[in-house]
Amino acid sequence: MANLTRRGFALGTLATGLMGQEKERPITSVSVPGDPAAPTVSGGTLAESVPFGAKVEFKRDDIVPKVWPFPMTSVRLLPGVFEDAQQANRQFLYEQTPDRLLHVFRLNAGIASSAQALGGWEKPDCELRGHFVGHYLSACALSYSSTGDKELKARGDYLVAELAKCQQRLPGGYLSAFPTEYFDRLSARKEVWAPFYTVHKIMAGMLDMHEHCGNAQALTVLNGMADWADGWSGALSEEHMQTVLDTEYGGMGETLYSLTALSGDERFARTGDRFIKKRFFNPLALRRDELRGLHVNTHIPQVIAAARRYEISSDPRFQDVAEYFWETVTGSRTYVTGGTSNNEGWLVSPNRLAAELKLGDATNECCCSYNMLKLTRKLYEWNPDPRLFDFYERALFNHRLGTINSDGQTQYYLGVVPGSWRAFATKYDSFWCCTGTGTEEHAKLNNSIYFHDADGIFVNLFIASELHWAERNFRLRQETAFPEEGRTTLVVDAEQPVHLTLRVRIPQWASRANVKINGKLSDVSAASGSYLAIARTWTKGDRVEVDLPMSLHSEWMADDHSLRAFLYGPLVLAGKLGREGLTPALEIGPEGPQIGKAPAIEIPQFAANNKRLEEWIKPGDRPLTFKTSGQSVNVALEPFYKVNGERYSLYWKVS
Ligand SMILES: [Zn+2]
């Protein structure tokens, strides 16, 4: 690899085993030293009777979801921390120049380009070049849907038209910023970074430009790319293709299945089926966690593809894969922030995160949270369990919020090793995978607040916003400063009275919820972790006020009960530990908190002495702030999403 990045290093590390001695071993079967619970048998050895043993046949049979999200055009964010993040992201998108983005594509297609080359992973000699352009198309399309931003739609339209010109000069529908020779290497199992991963981003960008901006040319380009992928993968035996799947390939299956859903042409779904990595899916379908040693962000998109496959085939094996994967990752492999991964891998057996924390400091790759949120939404459409949104809220407020700064720069790793800090990308010289998913994430912050079924509306997230349900001629405005305040108010605006059920999620962290309807305390109630359902005929001006009192609580590591994190309501609290050793070079540009490059600092330890948290963690002088008291070293605590520019800890030794 021309440019050795942290990510490249991490991939190489996983690919060759952490001892660096097992060069031939694929990343799906690494062994990780130091964990006696390591499985001794990896993939590829399962009997034929397993769920994905025989040939997988596609047959179209769509499921009927139980709930649907509203179109993003129906929900607008109102002023608040999420709208700030959305705006910062748009600023970042404006600052990118289309002709600079196109430079590597034009060169690859033999079209003259005098634009200044971008740096980082878009550099003309980086093997992932072009990937960010796919994300950029998606981000422009999503921003148009979520805000009506015509300038970004025009940017996306221009890129589609110019990329189509590149495609016309390349063979058989192929479109990329690197030559097909990368795919020759992929087929020959020679070293190459991730060509299908990159192509997938461009395909997904085209699909988004078609879906959100009505760009017909984007669909034509996408069909050409899908034809090319069909031809390339169809020329390989299944056995050969299964070895190709050892190299990261993003969400190829997801986009191909979506194309079948869109066009009705089942050929694309059959192409998608060639991207089913059977030895990854088999244990999951049997409800076995054999994730240890896998590269995390290589595999979550494969599960999203499984979810999409289930949606258009009703094949329950794919549902099993998606649901069990979600259970085990969120239940036993997720840090308190809602993020997962360390050194980009799952390095330990389930429920051994305290051990994993000692194996690396590059935790919580942001792409992984982006993809877990995407998967969560899908599962929710099949089964609207509020528990899914307890996770969604955890990851959204504690991982995603805070990983974008006011300039629109995003993070790669979100450090949870004590003494970490936030490190952000540069504007033109980073373009990591997480820059791409970050710019998509912050363009779609309005897409999961509300869902609906035939009866009414589900309010899942407490984010200041307006919903317009056009079919029912019903508007709902959510007025809240959440999480600065533990309450939200829903205000109805309807020309005519409308009968429907309003379901408000009562989070797990809320011990009780008081509800007032039009100023009067209501006797409707719901337990935490369920929906508060109010069925009535709503008229203009009706108000529902929901109080969701937050309180202090703690969570501990399953394999070390003395290692604790503190939360207030849904918010993870970070202890502020000063700026010792931090320099601009450590905060802007590196791919994560490079802990080895800053001096080690003392992480205070606490003695709880069997006291309740409230007895030794006292409110600070501003809302949502706290301070420990009576400890040998006392620490100020704040919601993690607000902590930037200093070192912090989320986990503490508590005796
Ligand atoms: Zn990433």
CA of 339 to the centre of ligand 1 (A): 12
CA of 433 to the centre of ligand 1 (A): 4
Taking only the tens place, the pLDDT of each residue in 580-593 is: 999 999 999 988 89
CA of 503 to the centre of ligand 1 (A): 35
Contact 647/420 with Cβ under 8 angstroms? yes
Taking only the tens place, the pLDDT of each residue in 584-643 is: 999 999 888 999 999 999 999 999 999 999 999 999 999 999 999 999 999 999 999 999
CA of 183 to the centre of ligand 1 (A): 22
Among 367, 371, 372, 446, smallest CA distance to 411 is for 367
pLDDT band with cut points at 50, 70 and 90 for residue 489: very high
- For the entire predicted model, the pTM comes to 0.94
pLDDT of residue 2 exceeding 80: no
Question: 489: burial class by Cβ within 10 Å (0-12, 13-18, 19+)?
Answer: middle
pLDDT of residue 10 exceeding 50: no
Per-chain residues with Cβ under 5 A from ion ligand 1 = 365, 367, 433-434
pLDDT of residue 263 exceeding 50: yes
pLDDT band with cut points at 50, 70 and 90 for residue 50: confident
CA of 505 to the centre of ligand 1 (A): 30
CA of 366 to the centre of ligand 1 (A): 5
Least confident of 16-25, 265-274, 575-584, 590-599: 16-25
Q: What is the DSSP letter of 399?
A: I
CA of 7 to the centre of ligand 1 (A): 8
Taking only the tens place, the pLDDT of each residue in 431-474 is: 999 999 999 999 999 999 999 999 999 999 999 999 999 999 99
CA of 422 to the centre of ligand 1 (A): 15
CA of 434 to the centre of ligand 1 (A): 4
CA of 428 to the centre of ligand 1 (A): 17
38 or 645, which is more confident: 645
CA of 572 to the centre of ligand 1 (A): 22
Kindly tell me the number of DSSP H helices and DSSP E strands found in the chain. 20, 20
What is the predicted pLDDT for the residue at 516? 97
Q: Round to whole Å and give the CA distance between 637 and 618.
A: 10
pLDDT band with cut points at 50, 70 and 90 for residue 33: very low
DSSP calls for 414-475: ---STTB---B--SSS---HHHHHHHHHTT-TTSSSEEE-SSEEEE-----EEEEEGGGTEE
Q: Which helix (H) or strand (E) holds 637?
A: strand 636-639
Percent of the chain with pLDDT over 70: 93
Structural tokens at position 540: 């203009």
C-beta atoms surrounding 238 within 10 Å: 13
Percent of the chain with pLDDT over 90: 90
- The dihedrals phi and psi of 538, each to the nearest 5 degrees, come to -95, 140
What is the predicted pLDDT for the residue at 48? 43
What is the predicted pLDDT for the residue at 49? 62
Section 116-140 average pLDDT: 98
CA of 331 to the centre of ligand 1 (A): 22
Mean predicted lDDT score pLDDT of the chain: 92
Least confident of 43-47, 106-110, 151-155, 298-302: 43-47
CA of 649 to the centre of ligand 1 (A): 22
